[in-house]
Structure 1
Amino acid sequence: MKSELGTQYKVGKNFKLKDAPTDISSRVKPAEAKEALKKIRKDLAAFQEKLYAHNRYSVLVCLQGMDTSGKDSLIREVFEEFNVRGVVVNSFKTPSALELQHDYLWRHAIALPEKGKFGVFNRTHYENVLVTRVHPEYLLNEKIPGIENVKDLPRDFWEKRFGQINHFEEQLAENGTLLFKFFLNLSKKEQKARLLRRLEKEKHQWKFSPGDLAERKLWERYMDCYEDAIRHTSPPRAPWHVIPADDKDICRYLVASILLSRLETYKDIAYPKPEKAIQEHIRQYQQQLEQEKS
């Protein structure tokens, strides 16, 4: 299991999405991954308590992936042991009328976690260089000056957005946000199987939309856009990790392991010591409480 904790899922300079695995169940047993996660998530919860007491950093976990890649269940399982006040989850869907009255990063900026807490973005600011790139007509809703038609988009539009996102994340990192970005790499074959299960089970049918099938027809276009976005936005301070997602237990284990292994490198995150006056009289306070009559 330890062999999976290295840097093999971190995106490098010559990243190609087609070379990234979606299934590693021949090397990692799902049952073992599920069992290993139990301890890791307890350790993550313990770290969050220390993070809160230290009050200098926040943690932002960004999850991207095609529909049915397992983002919701990953959040539930990985953060199960957390104090509910220690983690805040935001799911970004179609921008509201209010959100469209601001720049495209605004709704993400106002949802950032405060110091001492974990924030999870279920779909992220990267939707603005993924969905809008596959469907550029959506950009017209942003009311960008000078763009009245898709044909008005300058040739370097997407490169500029990549740069804006990199600057946004750099600012976060410089101000104490520890940023993690995970692409849950699901195969088209496995998505088909999950959509069929969704239709077969009555309690899951509400999740299905005919639009899922329409988007599925654009799979290759989405993969091209993901690869381009990931390659342009994976600096050392905020690298992407592309996680095999065909097996949910393995996917959750890998994400949790990567989180914990990197967070443990921040040795300055520790419980603050009480004031000297309190330290000098701790035994006195203990005795005072012990002598109280019930």
Structure 2
Amino acid sequence: MRNIASESLKVTEPISLKEISTSIDLEASEKKKDKELNKLREKLSKHQDIMYAHNKYSVLICLQGMDTAGKDSLIREVFKEFNPRGVVVHSFKTPSKLELQHDYLWRHVIALPQRGKYGVFNRTHYENVLVTRVHPSYILGENIPGINSIEDITEEFWEKRFDQINNFEKQISENGTIILKFFLHLGKEEQRQRLLRRLNKAKHNWKFSPGDLKERGRWDDYQKYYEEAINKTSKPHAPWYVIPSDNKETARVLVAKAILERMEQITDIQEPELDESISQHILMYKDMLSKEVI
């Protein structure tokens, strides 16, 4: 299998999505990719167990992409070997009435992972500089002081929002949250084929919404705003990775590999040593249990 360096997918300088391919050849069969993914997720699971015991770091995985990009299936396949206690997935939909009574980051803050755990955001706080840019009228529902009409939503407003997101990620990073952000880069033709499959297969019909076609009609706008968001918020402590996603199996391998490589760089994540007061009496505790009468 072809080895794709995760660093080559990381955004470290301004990118143009049009210049990045939505497909990449790993030179491997689907069976080989499944085998590789299985190895990666087993290593991730074992590492998470150690991180849980270490109890100093948490991990935030952010997944963004156009409709049908494969976010749900990627989560299922990459994290399926994890102990259920070690990973929590949040899928952020249209804000509720309660959520709109707070600032736009509130619902994401309260969903952040505890120390020792992974949190996976399926759609993220970036929806607030993506969907709301394509549909700025949504901002009016946030009831923000000074924003009374679409005309009040200026470029300065968006720049402030990018600053707020960067500050939010910097703050949680400095307090022990490891952040990795993945844009599942899907081709427009591939999306068309996936939408057709949803319509052609009865068991997948429920996934289709006429709104999918409406949003597809704004494809170029979404690509423009994704590109801007990625360029303005990919930082060393919270990097974006652009993942070619026309092939779902390939995307899963690339994401799992990037996560594992990042986690292996953090060398102080170790299993905690047993307290000396306990370790000195291990033999005694064993003897007590072995002689216990039930």
Q: One fold, TM greater than 0.5?
A: yes
- Measured after TM superposition, the shift of residue 261 of structure 1 is 0.8
Distance in 1 separating the partners of 2:292 and 2:110? 48
Distance in 1 separating the partners of 2:152 and 2:160? 15
- Find the counterpart in structure 2 of residue 130 from structure 1: 130
Distance in 1 separating the partners of 2:291 and 2:273? 26
Q: 5 Å matches for 1:173-188?
A: 173-188=173-188
The answer on whether the counterparts of 1:234 and 1:240 sit within 8 Å (CA) in structure 2 is yes
Give the root-mean-square deviation of aligned CA atoms: 1.4
Distance in 1 separating the partners of 2:238 and 2:14? 17
- Measured after TM superposition, the shift of residue 83 of structure 1 is 1.1
| Pair 1:172 & 2:172 matched | yes
- Measured after TM superposition, the shift of residue 271 of structure 1 is 1.1
AA partner of residue 122 (structure 2):
N
The answer on whether the counterparts of 1:182 and 1:242 sit within 8 Å (CA) in structure 2 is yes
Change (3 A) 1:28 1:183: farther
Q: 5 Å matches for 1:196-275?
A: 196-275=196-275
Distance in 2 separating the partners of 1:28 and 1:63? 25
- Find the counterpart in structure 1 of residue 191 from structure 2: 191
- Find the counterpart in structure 2 of residue 151 from structure 1: 151
Distance in 2 separating the partners of 1:266 and 1:12? 20
- Find the counterpart in structure 2 of residue 286 from structure 1: 286
The answer on whether the counterparts of 1:52 and 1:117 sit within 8 Å (CA) in structure 2 is yes
Equivalent residue of 1:230, what SS? helix
Distance in 2 separating the partners of 1:40 and 1:118? 16
Distance in 1 separating the partners of 2:2 and 2:279? 40
- Residues 138-188 of structure 1 deviation map (CA, whole Å, 9 limit, x = unaligned): 100011111111011233111111111000000010010011100000000
AA partner of residue 223 (structure 1):
Q
Change (3 A) 1:3 1:125: same
- Find the counterpart in structure 1 of residue 121 from structure 2: 121
- Find the counterpart in structure 1 of residue 142 from structure 2: 142
Distance in 2 separating the partners of 1:47 and 1:188? 36
Gaps of 5+ in 1: none
- Residues 84-128 of structure 1 deviation map (CA, whole Å, 9 limit, x = unaligned): 111100000101111111101001001101111110000000000
- Measured after TM superposition, the shift of residue 292 of structure 1 is 4.0
Change (3 A) 1:26 1:60: closer
- Measured after TM superposition, the shift of residue 2 of structure 1 is 6.3
The answer on whether the counterparts of 2:89 and 2:119 sit within 8 Å (CA) in structure 1 is yes
- Measured after TM superposition, the shift of residue 27 of structure 1 is 4.1
- Residues 205-253 of structure 1 deviation map (CA, whole Å, 9 limit, x = unaligned): 0110001001101001100000000000001111100001111111001
The answer on whether the counterparts of 2:2 and 2:26 sit within 8 Å (CA) in structure 1 is no
Distance in 1 separating the partners of 2:143 and 2:203? 39
Distance in 2 separating the partners of 1:8 and 1:125? 25
Distance in 2 separating the partners of 1:171 and 1:50? 24
Equivalent residue of 1:8, what SS? helix
Gaps of 5+ in 2: none
TM-score, normalised relative to structure 1: 0.96
Equivalent residue of 2:103, what SS? coil
Greater shift after overlay, 264-273 or 60-69? 264-273
- Find the counterpart in structure 2 of residue 35 from structure 1: 35
Greater shift after overlay, 99-108 or 27-36? 27-36
- Measured after TM superposition, the shift of residue 264 of structure 1 is 1.0
The answer on whether the counterparts of 1:28 and 1:250 sit within 8 Å (CA) in structure 2 is no
AA partner of residue 86 (structure 1):
G
- Find the counterpart in structure 2 of residue 89 from structure 1: 89
Distance in 1 separating the partners of 2:237 and 2:28? 28
Distance in 2 separating the partners of 1:280 and 1:2? 50
Equivalent residue of 1:64, what SS? strand
- Measured after TM superposition, the shift of residue 6 of structure 1 is 3.5
Aligned length: 294
The answer on whether the counterparts of 1:34 and 1:250 sit within 8 Å (CA) in structure 2 is no
- Measured after TM superposition, the shift of residue 286 of structure 1 is 2.6
The answer on whether the counterparts of 1:30 and 1:247 sit within 8 Å (CA) in structure 2 is no
Distance in 2 separating the partners of 1:76 and 1:293? 45
